[in-house]
């Protein structure tokens, strides 16, 4: 099924590029005629920056113009997201939006939502995991839940920052399974994983890519992944659904435009970036970064954003992050 | 050890084109480091896309060149224009700038270069031979350990306070206070602000530029037209034998302190340099001369921050845990090349590990060569007429404040901090304690609260952790010794008529 959809997508892409070439000659406004700016709300050198630079390089080949990545950082992502929303809607500025777009508004940290953008495509979606120390006495999500129930308020789960994607993920887990745990925020996922490997906390709820090096070294073990399917790289890690818990939870990244862009330009951009997502060089880069590419076209991405926003809001309320 | 493997893996590092890449990186690093606001992290991050098409050895070599070069580059601005080019060079200016003002800019630069090289080599050697051992120690650092490390770091404030301990403490507490601004790192609530630019706390680099560079610009406006030029005597591109003998001990101790602190994830060159400076002052026969422009001060700081480069690589390579922000970005470069740093790296790609070790040493030599070529050129900056130099520093400072986040808010913040720094200096409050507090305040606060959360608020448990006890004892000892030293210094100064420490 998946292979088929990829094949169909590939075909669409090829025809898309051909048609795009055809249309430009047919009198549509010439676009793009100059370099494009891509706003990254996170710092240069980080995961978002790396994937965005690779994707931009692939899309630049399609568009025949350079794409410059601009890191507009600060405010926990708020500044960059605002910059994308407020950019001039001429198609020469767009940016990468990330999970935080759906968790900052509820906390009153930004005064706009996904609805203030023109979503382009979803790029990747990485599931949360439940990862514990290798020598921990529990070997499945069920055993972990039972342990937490017998020892309420003892287990500390590390996450990447207060109100962050993995904090909400761990909150979802605690809420759905009815366990009482301590949520300990760190400054990013890496310090949390290190604290786990050093035995200072008992679990982390971060993505598979973020625990990979410690997992390979046998310092930690992954009890479950909050995905709909198992990871291709680690097929023996069961999903939560496999273990009888109906929990799925992802962080995601996508591209978005400011509102009010000429539909023809949006179409050109959609086609270029859709094609870029299939570029072998880009796919290779994503694979090296252990990212799960999860393409969604504009309409589906928009629907996903709404669904995700509602789910995140519900969890945040349930765990008391917002009223 | 398999010597065959070692030789076959390091051979490509010495290929001419590879050496060229490392030299290019080191040149870029020295330049980036010397411009306040452009950090080595930024330089490495911006060059990573250029390494997509390269193989692992030249790309890592080039990035390591930037890393090492920038660590030295930071001292150039500190010595010449009283602004640390990178945060790690903040301790260098304590003695570097006074040396420059005495007409010894060339000597200070040469000492900084020599100490950077030696510190860097100590770090690289420790990294080569002790990685697996030291990395095990890094894992032992949990929230409680980080908290006590930060407390130890804060105790250094006393020895960098200058003449008045009270004024130093006031500066330090002012820094701690503004460090609480922004989003609470544990609960996520906003403290003392609704401004989006303060969400992540006060912008560190713009604050540093404001405090050190812009305050100097404002102060110089007062006498911009009275041009009292400082001319730099340049005796050589490397320190003389006398100087080397004088600084040898500070350099070696600094290199080790730097490597050790660098190996602790989350503690970087800035902390290392201050701790090493404080140690050099403590163990010196003439502590009263520190802060007046003496070679040991520059050497201790520079050896430590370059020792950090090797130290920070240790947990990155062997645990997959970056030691500081530079190595975090470097780790990204490894992953993009298809190598996941971490324990498996030593099993699966030992050849790459050896090549990285060799590249690190070559990068230090490259830094030495680039620095030696540059000393004469850089030292000329100080002889530029003030009415030309001051506006240039102003422009550089504003550009630097903007560059870090591409955000105008940071520029306004830097301008305000410039005013704060100007007033503080006018009334003889030292500025370095503010900087140290800005680095260590958030680190001590969030780790203390994390520790209390994990251990259910039982603070006494901190005394059951050996590393914590060691740091707490060190902190108390360092405070007592510094206060005693300060008293002695004051007495000695009073006896000699008060000119020695002026």
Least confident residue range of B121-125, B149-153, B258-262, B285-289: B285-289
The DSSP H or E segment spanning A40 is: strand A36-40
Beta-carbon separation of A289 and B338 below 8 A: no
Instruction: Give the pLDDT of residue A289.
Output: 85
Which residues share a beta bridge with A224? A130
Least CA distance to B450: which residue of chain A? A184
Beta-carbon separation of B199 and A43 below 8 A: no
Beta-carbon separation of B200 and A75 below 8 A: yes
Listed by number, the residues of chain A in 102-121 with a beta carbon closer than 8 Å to a beta carbon of chain B are 107, 109
* pLDDT 10s digits, B276-289: 999 999 888 888 88
Is B322 touching A (CB cutoff 8 A)?
yes
DSSP string, B336-388: HTT---SHHHHHH-HHHHHHHHHHHHHHHHHHHHHHHHHHHHHHGGGGS-HHH
Q: Which of A130-139, A226-235, A286-295, B158-167 shows the highest mean pLDDT? A: A130-139
Gap between the Cα atoms of A137 and B322, Å rounded: 29
Residue B190 lies in a domain: no
* pLDDT 10s digits, A203-223: 999 999 888 888 988 889 999
Instruction: Give the pLDDT of residue A28.
Output: 55
Residue B186 lies in a domain: no
Of A161, A198, A285, the CB nearest to B336: A285
Q: Which residues neighbour A164 within 8 Å (Cβ) at sequence distance 6 or greater?
A: A100, A103, A185
The answer to whether the CB of B459 falls within 8 A of the CB of B447 is no
Pairing of strands A156-159, A182-185: parallel
Which of the four pLDDT bands, split at 50, 70 and 90, describes residue A29?
low
Instruction: Give the pLDDT of residue A263.
Output: 93
* pLDDT 10s digits, B42-66: 888 878 878 877 889 999 999 999 9
Which of the four pLDDT bands, split at 50, 70 and 90, describes residue B131?
confident
Top-confidence residue, A322 or B237: A322
Torsions phi, psi of B91, nearest 5? -75, -25
The DSSP H or E segment spanning B53 is: none
> What mean pLDDT comes out for the span B379-401?
85
Domains A2-126+250-318 and A129-225 share a fold: yes
Is B188 touching A (CB cutoff 8 A)?
yes
Instruction: Give the pLDDT of residue A20.
Output: 45
Quickly tell me which residue has 């608020």 as its tokens: B457
Least CA distance to B449: which residue of chain A? A184
What is the complex's ipTM, to 2 decimals?
A: 0.81
Assigned CATH class of A129-225: alpha beta
> What mean pLDDT comes out for the span A250-266?
95
Does the pLDDT of residue B317 top 80, yes or no? yes
Which of the four pLDDT bands, split at 50, 70 and 90, describes residue A19?
very low
| Structure-derived torsion over alpha carbons of residues A237, A239, A245, A249, reported in degrees to the nearest 10 | 120
A266: exposed, middle or buried (C-beta count within 10 Å: 0-12, 13-18, 19+)? middle
Gap between the Cα atoms of B439 and B446, Å rounded: 12
Name the residue range of residue B400's domain: 3-143+201-421
Does the pLDDT of residue B235 top 80, yes or no? no
Coil, strand or helix at B240: coil
Does the pLDDT of residue B389 top 70, yes or no? yes
Q: Cα distance from B218 to chain A (closest Cα, Å)?
A: 28
Which of the four pLDDT bands, split at 50, 70 and 90, describes residue A16?
very low
Does the pLDDT of residue B439 top 60, yes or no? yes
Counted domains in chain B: 1
Instruction: Name the residue among B46, B315, B190 with its Cα closest to residue A191.
Output: B315
Beta-carbon separation of A198 and B329 below 8 A: no
Find the radius of gyration of the CA atoms of chain A: 21
Does the pLDDT of residue B105 top 60, yes or no? yes
| pTM for this entry | 0.84
Does the pLDDT of residue B338 top 60, yes or no? yes
| Distance, C-alpha B145 to centroid of its chain | 21
The pair of structure tokens assigned to B391 is: 């506006």
Instruction: Give the pLDDT of residue B496.
Output: 67
Is A217 touching B (CB cutoff 8 A)?
yes
Residue B438 lies in a domain: no
- Boundaries of every domain in chain A: 2-126+250-318, 129-225
Of B140, B265, B344, the CB nearest to A216: B344
Does the pLDDT of residue B91 top 70, yes or no? yes
Coil, strand or helix at B6: helix
Coil, strand or helix at B51: helix
| Distance, C-alpha B377 to centroid of its chain | 23
Q: Which residues of B touch A208 (CB under 8 A)?
A: none
Instruction: Give the pLDDT of residue B41.
Output: 84
Residue B426 lies in a domain: no
Rounded to a whole number of angstroms, the distance between the first and last alpha carbons of chain A is 42
Mean pLDDT of chain B: 87
What CATH architecture applies to the domain A2-126+250-318? 3-Layer(aba) Sandwich (3.40)
Coil, strand or helix at B82: coil
Of A45, A54, A107, the CB nearest to B328: A45
Least confident residue range of A238-242, A254-258, B52-56: B52-56
Mean pLDDT of chain A: 89
Number of CB atoms found within 10 A of residue B39's CB = 24
Q: Cα distance from A26 to chain B (closest Cα, Å)?
A: 36
Instruction: Give the pLDDT of residue B6.
Output: 81
Instruction: Give the pLDDT of residue A306.
Output: 96
* pLDDT 10s digits, B145-173: 999 999 998 988 887 887 788 999 999 99
Listed by number, the residues of chain A in 29-88 with a beta carbon closer than 8 Å to a beta carbon of chain B are 43-47, 49-50, 53-54, 57, 70-76, 78-79, 82
Gap between the Cα atoms of B156 and B160, Å rounded: 7
Distances in whole angstroms, Cα of residue A127 to Cα of each of A133, A209, A294: 19, 9, 11
Beta-carbon separation of A213 and B49 below 8 A: no
Least confident residue range of A206-215, B22-31, B219-228, B462-471: B219-228
Does the pLDDT of residue A25 top 50, yes or no? no
Beta-carbon separation of B343 and A288 below 8 A: no
Does the pLDDT of residue B307 top 80, yes or no? yes
Instruction: Name the residue among A57, A59, A220 with its Cα closest to residue A135.
Output: A220
């Amino acid at each position: 099924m998946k292979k088929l959809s990829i094949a169909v997508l590939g075909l669409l892409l090829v025809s898309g590029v051909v048609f795009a070439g055809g249309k430009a000659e047919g009198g549509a406004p010439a676009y793009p005629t100059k370099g494009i700016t891509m706003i990254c709300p996170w710092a240069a050198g980080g995961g978002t920056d790396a994937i965005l630079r690779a994707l931009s390089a692939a899309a630049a080949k399609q568009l025949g113009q350079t794409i410059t990545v601009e890191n507009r950082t600060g405010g926990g992502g708020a500044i960059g997201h605002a910059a994308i929303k407020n950019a001039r809607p001429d198609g020469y500025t767009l940016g990468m939006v990330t999970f935080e777009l759906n968790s900052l508004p509820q906390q009153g940290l930004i005064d706009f939502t996904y609805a203030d953008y023109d979503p382009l495509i979803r790029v990747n979606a990485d599931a949360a995991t439940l990862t514990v120390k290798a020598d921990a006495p529990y070997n499945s999500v069920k055993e972990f839940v039972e342990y937490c129930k017998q020892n309420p308020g003892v287990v500390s789960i590390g996450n990447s920052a207060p109100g962050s994607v993995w904090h909400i993920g761990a909150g979802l887990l605690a809420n759905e399974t009815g366990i009482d745990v301590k949520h300990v925020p760190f400054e990013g996922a890496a310090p949390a994983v290190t604290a786990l490997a050093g035995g200072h906390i008992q679990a982390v709820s971060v993505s598979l890519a973020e625990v990979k090096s410690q997992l390979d070294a046998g310092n930690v073990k992954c009890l479950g992944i909050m995905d709909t399917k198992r990871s291709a790289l680690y097929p023996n890690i069961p999903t939560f659904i496999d273990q009888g818990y109906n929990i799925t939870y992802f962080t995601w990244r996508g591209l978005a435009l400011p509102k009010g862009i000429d539909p023809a330009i949006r179409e050109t951009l959609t086609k270029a970036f859709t094609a870029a997502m299939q570029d072998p060089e880009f796919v290779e880069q994503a694979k090296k970064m252990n990212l799960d590419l999860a393409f969604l076209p504009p309409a589906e991405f928009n629907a996903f954003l709404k669904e995700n926003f509602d789910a995140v809001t519900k969890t945040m309320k349930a765990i008391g992050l917002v009223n | 050890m398999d010597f065959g493997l070692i030789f076959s893996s390091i051979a490509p590092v010495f290929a001419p084109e590879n050496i060229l890449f490392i030299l290019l990186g080191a040149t870029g690093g020295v330049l980036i480091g010397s411009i306040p606001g452009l950090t080595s992290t930024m330089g490495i991050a911006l060059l990573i896309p250029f390494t997509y098409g390269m193989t692992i050895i030249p790309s890592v070599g080039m990035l390591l060149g930037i890393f090492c070069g920038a660590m030295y580059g930071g001292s150039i601005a500190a010595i010449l224009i009283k602004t640390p080019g990178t945060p790690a060079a903040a301790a260098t200016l304590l003695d570097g700038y006074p040396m420059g003002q005495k007409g010894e800019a060339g000597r200070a630069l040469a000492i900084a270069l020599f100490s950077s090289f030696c510190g860097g080599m100590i770090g690289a050697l420790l990294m080569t031979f002790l990685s697996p051992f030291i990395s095990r120690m890094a894992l032992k650092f949990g929230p409680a350990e980080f908290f006590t490390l930060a407390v130890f770091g804060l105790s250094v404030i006393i020895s960098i306070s200058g003449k008045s301990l009270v004024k130093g403490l006031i500066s330090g507490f002012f820094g701690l206070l503004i460090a609480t601004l922004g989003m609470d790192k544990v609960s996520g609530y906003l403290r003392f602000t609704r401004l989006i630019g303060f969400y992540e706390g006060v912008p560190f680099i713009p604050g540093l530029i404001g405090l050190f560079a812009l305050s100097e610009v404002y102060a110089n406006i007062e006498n911009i037209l009275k041009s009292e030029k400082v001319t730099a005597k340049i005796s050589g591109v490397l320190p003389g034998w006398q100087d080397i003998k004088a600084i040898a001990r500070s350099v070696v101790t600094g290199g080790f302190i730097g490597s050790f602190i660098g190996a602790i994830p989350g503690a970087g060159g800035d902390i290392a340099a201050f701790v090493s400076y404080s140690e050099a002052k403590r163990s010196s026969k003439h502590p009263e001369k520190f802060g007046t422009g003496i070679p040991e001060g520059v050497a201790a700081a520079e050896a430590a921050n370059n020792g950090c480069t090797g130290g920070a690589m240790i947990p990155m390579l062997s645990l997959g845990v970056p030691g500081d922000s530079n190595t975090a970005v470097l780790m990204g470069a490894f992953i993009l090349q298809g190598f996941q740093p971490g324990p498996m790296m030593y099993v699966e790609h030992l050849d790459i590990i050896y090549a990285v070790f060799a590249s690190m040493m070559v990068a230090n030599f490259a830094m030495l060569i680039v620095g030696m070529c540059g000393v004469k050129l850089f030292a000329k900056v100080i002889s530029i007429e003030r009415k030309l130099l001051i506006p240039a520093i102003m422009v550089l400072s504003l550009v630097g404040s903007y560059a870090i986040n591409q955000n105008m808010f940071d520029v306004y913040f830097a301008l305000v901090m410039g005013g704060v720094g100007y007033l503080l200096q006018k009334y003889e409050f030292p500025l370095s304690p503010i900087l140290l507090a800005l680095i260590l305040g958030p680190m001590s606060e969030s780790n203390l609260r994390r520790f209390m959360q994990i251990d259910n608020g039982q603070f006494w448990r901190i005394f059951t952790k050996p590393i914590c006890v060691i740091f707490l004892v060190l902190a108390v000892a360092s405070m007592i010794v510094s206060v005693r030293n300060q008293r002695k210094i004051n007495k000695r100064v009073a006896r000699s008529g008060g000119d020695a420490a002026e």
